[in-house]
Amino acid sequence: MTTHIFDDHADLSFRVARLIAEQIKTKPDSVICFASGESPLLAYNLLVTLLKSEKIETSKFTLIGLDEWIDITPENPGSCAYFLHSNLIQPLNLSVDQYRLFNALTEDLSQECETMDKFILKKGSLDMIIVGIGMNGHIGFNEPGVPQNLYSHVIDLDETTRTVGQKYFEGKTQLSKGITLGLQYVREAKTAILMASGERKAPIIRETLEGEITTTVPATMMRELENGHVMIDRNAASLLKPQE
């Protein structure tokens, strides 16, 4: 794993956008998994601009949505589906066979996990995965304590995730379960990028990079990945030990 520290959120976002654009340029049929949330939003907006201005072919890559809140409709602006549609799928005019998002409204969620796993397996594996980090160290909805060898699965959300998750919704919203790609996908991805910015992420970034590697802080698994990149801004890095 390598750690990259950028001056600010804009710098970090530009660098991540550049990396994703290069991935699509060099391998137009790349399979890329995208998280939702505040951390990657600017990177995605910059990515759309880069892909358009540099006329990079976007009709062959596949977008996978990392996760979704169970029982939240895709029309809800707080859903991961809404976020990915507004920030990537619509602006890039991706065709329906170019993306797959979890259907979190289906009655048979284990079937839904199987369908996602089969879809990815048919494509080979993930070329790249872009993730954020929760205040409790989660990646996707891989909450503290989750086994690291899972592919798609359904999980009870941690209290922190239920509380912090309210920021995406207009009114108080019942959040209890999530459906997510498991950490095994992060492990197997050819490139895994974890993004974090801002001072509020500094304590969990310190725990992730300097604490014990443990399933209690799922993001610590990044340290075991050869192709793992933790890309953060100075504020998120502010509690790290000074580099020698």
33 binds ligand F6R (CB under 6 A): no
Among 85, 100, 138, 153, which residue interacts with ligand F6R (rule: CB under 6 A)? 138
Going from the C-alpha of 106 to that of each of 3, 68, 109, 110, 161, the distances in angstroms are 39, 12, 6, 10, 22
Q: In the complex with ligand F6R, which residue's Cβ is closer, 67 or 207?
A: 67
- Whether residue 138 lies in the annotated active site: yes
The CB-of-53 to ligand F6R minimum distance in angstroms stands at 26
220 binds ligand F6R (CB under 6 A): no
67 binds ligand F6R (CB under 6 A): yes
- Given the residues 127, 143, 158, 233, select the one marked as catalytic: 143
134 binds ligand F6R (CB under 6 A): yes
11 binds ligand F6R (CB under 6 A): no
202 binds ligand F6R (CB under 6 A): no
Strands (E), the chain: 2-6, 31-34, 62-65, 67-69, 99-100, 128-131, 153-156, 177-180, 191-196, 228-233
- Given the residues 9, 68, 136, 207, select the one marked as catalytic: 136
HSE, CB side, 13 Å, CA atoms: give it for residue 242.
1
- In eight-state DSSP terms, residue 139 is B
How would DSSP label each residue in 52-121?
HHTT---SS-EEEE-EEETT--TTSTTSHHHHHIIIIITTTT--GGGEE---TT-S-HHHHHHHHHHHHH
- Whether residue 107 lies in the annotated active site: no
38 binds ligand F6R (CB under 6 A): yes
Task: Kindly report the number of other CB atoms within 10 A of residue 163's CB atom.
Answer: 12
80 binds ligand F6R (CB under 6 A): yes
User: Angle at CA 213, nearest 5°, toward 208 and 214?
Assistant: 100
132 binds ligand F6R (CB under 6 A): yes
Residue 34 contacts residue 66 (beta carbons within 8 Å): yes
Chain positions 142 to 201 lying near ligand F6R, rule: CB under 6 A, are none
- Whether residue 229 lies in the annotated active site: no
- Whether residue 9 lies in the annotated active site: no
The CB-of-198 to ligand F6R minimum distance in angstroms stands at 8
Which positions are catalytic? 67, 136, 138, 143
Which residues of this protein are in contact with ligand F6R, per CB under 6 A? 35-39, 66-67, 80, 131-134, 138-140
